[in-house]
Amino acid sequence: MKILFSPFSPYVRKCLVTAMELGLDSGITLLPSNAHPVNRDQNIVAVNPLGKVPTFFTDDGLVLYDSRVICEYLNHLGKGELFPHPGRQRWTSLTLQSLGDGMLDAALLARYEEVARPEAIKWAEWRAAQLDKIESSLQALNHSPESLANRVDIGTITIACSLWYLDLRFSEMKWRERYPKVADWYAAYSQRPSTLAKWSLPE
């Protein structure tokens, strides 16, 4: 198996964390890529018309994207339980995944507004609105910390990856000060080997 890799992509990280939780990470080769929202990497476009990472290659010739599909494939391959069986637990897990993905979507849009959009046409209010999506999501999680407690599934994996990305790109938010219950959960959850792991391309 192979995956188009970026060390700073939270969605690539989500896939690799999932793989590690399932004991599959050693069987995945990391491939270099250069995804960009404007200057699109044609090597990615050739296999994924969206031109985005993660893009995943299975051993039997499939090309999979995006992270939701890749993670579910890995869970099936590893006979895992990161995607619960149909029922209340599954729907809450998938909804938590959607919340984490939404936080990441907003964070990436805010990041692109800062680093990819020309200075003359930057829209500060639009960027602030993206960051507000993150704030309201963290507020909801802080209000209901039981939604995160005592579980390791695709929902908590995604939330953890979104918090990892906030620390990477938006440390100035200092989200832990305003959302202490989320901070307490993440402090414990982030000690998992899969959350502590760092990946890089082979030299």
* pLDDT at position 132: 98
Q: 34-41: long-range contacts (C-beta < 8 A, 24 or more apart)?
A: 35/4, 35/6, 35/9, 36/116, 37/112, 37/116, 38/116
How large is the average pLDDT for residues 85-102? 96
Task: Report how far residue 131's alpha carbon sits from residue 171's, in angstroms, rounded to the nearest whole number.
Answer: 13
Domains of the chain, start order: 2-82 (3.40.30.10), 88-194 (1.20.1050.10)
Residue 203, pLDDT > 90, answer no
* pTM to 2 decimal places: 0.96
Average predicted confidence (pLDDT) for the chain: 96
Nearest to 112 by CA among 94, 100, 93, 130: 130
Structure tokens given for 77: 């391959």
pLDDT at residue number 189: 98
Dist CA 135 CA 149 (whole Å): 20
How many angstroms separate the CA atoms of 198 and 17, rounded? 10
Give the pLDDT confidence of 162-177 residue by residue, as tens digits.
Answer: 999 999 999 999 999 9
* pLDDT at residue 102 in the model: 98
Give 135-160 pLDDT, tens digit per residue.
999 999 999 999 999 999 999 999 99
Q: Token digits for 148?
A: 């995160």
Region 55-69 average pLDDT: 98
User: pLDDT grade, residue 202 (50/70/90)?
Assistant: confident
